[in-house]
Amino acid sequence: MATKVYGMHHIGITVPNIEEGVAFFQAVFGAIDVFRTGPFDVDQDFMKNKLGASAQSTIRDLVFLRCGEGTSVELFEYSGEEASPPKRSSEVGGMHLCFEVQDVHASAERLRAQGIEMLDGPNLVETGPLAGFNWIYFRAPWGLILELASFDKLGYEDNSPHRLLRASQSN
């Protein structure tokens, strides 16, 4: 039997500098700084066996942010381990975060004006189950891939009784 899931609580992201990470999420998404804690006084066993981190690393800072009415974002800054660039979308373990916005075109223009590195787009999916999906990828200063999306109705909705969760419908 599957575990009953109520929804996504938060997404944890390791950043090279906690203040840079907070400033980015505040500037881009209007994130609210809910609380901060750290540094943490834990041993190597805790880091390795409870967090899956390098035993030599420590958590310098942790900040919880709320972005709109959807999932919260937890930012970590670790010390003690050499930073490597985030994986590309095409690599196993690669990922991106998608934020639903009212107007992806207007949002993309605002981010461009702020000097955020935007990939090509916005793009519109015209056919198939994602028909009607407007989207664009962009990068955080430390390389994390993020996505903005806006849509009214998606192509799959005509043929499926199920619906994807919509942040805009949680209000």
Q: How many CB atoms lie within 10 A of CB 11?
A: 14
pLDDT in tens, 144-155: 999 999 999 999
Chain mean pLDDT for the chain: 91
- The predicted model gives 70-84 an average pLDDT of 86
Hey, what are 104's tokens?
């992806």
4 pLDDT more than 90:
no
Q: Taking Cα atoms as reference points, which of 146, 101, 149 lies closest to residue 124?
A: 149
Q: Which domains does the chain have, with CATH numbers?
A: 8-84 (3.10.180.10), 85-157 (3.10.180.10)
**pLDDT greater than 60 at residue 171:** no
pLDDT, residue 170, reads: 59
Kindly state the average pLDDT of the residues 71-94.
86
State pLDDT tens for residues 114-131.
Answer: 999 999 999 999 999 999
- Calculate the alpha carbon distances from 168 to 10, 52, 171 in Å: 17, 34, 7
At residue 7, the pLDDT reads: 81
SS3 119: coil
List for the chain the helix, strand, coil content (%; round to 5): 20, 30, 50
pTM score, whole prediction? 0.88
Whole-number Å distance between alpha carbons of 75 and 88: 20
